[in-house]
Amino acid sequence: MTDEANGTDEADERLLGALRTVVGAADPVPTEVVEAAKASLTWRSIDAELAELAYDSLLDDGLLVGTRSESSPRSLTFETADVTVEVEVVDMGAHRRLLGQLVPPGPADIQVRHSGGLIRVGADEVGRFTAAGVAPGPVSLRCRVTGAGAAPVETPWVVV
């Protein structure tokens, strides 16, 4: 899909070219951002089922939109055909605390993957779990339900 060559488009292309140079010089991608992106391949998993983000209170227009200073927790719901993972994110300032519930309720091993590394917690006999000290930034949960032969479930990365 190309534009027809004419004077105006040549001028536009020249300007875009100048912009590209200027913007690239003025605001390049920081090296550490590129390195972090490259390193993210280590989070690749081949055996997990990816859950769907079914609900994010941040995008719920029906809720009163709060500012950062209000302490209403963020609510997330992730779903696969067999499992639902509900998470409440409590802002503790420098860290986040996650309060989770698995449905159907039951024990599970939970790995909280976050920018600080990995936090391992267990969900109790009614499927509740808590994870403290979660770093602000992208988070993904990897849940292995006890006793089930099924693949572990991973939640899509969400910034908390």
Partner 1 sequence: MTEATNAELLDAAAGGDQRAWDALVERFSGLVWSIARAHRLSAADAADVSQTAWLRLVENLGRIRDPERVGAWLATTTRNECLRVIRKSGRQVPTDMEVDDEPPDLDSPPPDRGVLTDERDAALWRAFSSISERCQVLLRLLMADPRPSYEEICAVLGMPQGSIGPTRQRCLDKLRDKAGITSLLGDS
CA angle 27, 31, 36 (to 5 degrees): 120
Per CB under 8 A, which of residues 105..144 are in contact with partner 1? 115, 137-138, 140
| Residue 160 exposed, middle or buried by CB count within 10 Å (0-12, 13-18, 19+) | buried
- Chosen residue from 5, 68, 94, 147 binding partner 1 by CB under 8 A: 68
Instruction: Decide: is 54 part of the binding site for partner 1 (CB under 8 A).
Output: no
Name the phi and psi angles at 53, rounded to 5: -80, 100
- Chosen residue from 5, 38, 81, 149 binding partner 1 by CB under 8 A: 38
Instruction: Decide: is 153 part of the binding site for partner 1 (CB under 8 A).
Output: no
Closest CA to 141 of 78, 70, 82, 73: 78
Give least dist CB 6 to partner 1, A: 11
When the beta carbons of 69 and 147 are compared against partner 1, the nearer one is 69
155 contacts 132 by C-beta, under 8 angstroms: no
Give least dist CB 158 to partner 1, A: 8
- For β-strands 49-50 and 153-154, DSSP reports them as parallel
| Residue 71 exposed, middle or buried by CB count within 10 Å (0-12, 13-18, 19+) | exposed
CA atoms of 134 and 21, how far apart (whole Å): 39
Give least dist CB 137 to partner 1, A: 6
Instruction: Decide: is 72 part of the binding site for partner 1 (CB under 8 A).
Output: no
Can you give the binding site for partner 1, defined by CB under 8 A?
A: 1, 3, 7-8, 10-12, 14-16, 18-30, 32-34, 36-38, 40-41, 43-45, 50, 56, 58-59, 65, 67-68, 115, 137-138, 140, 154, 156-159
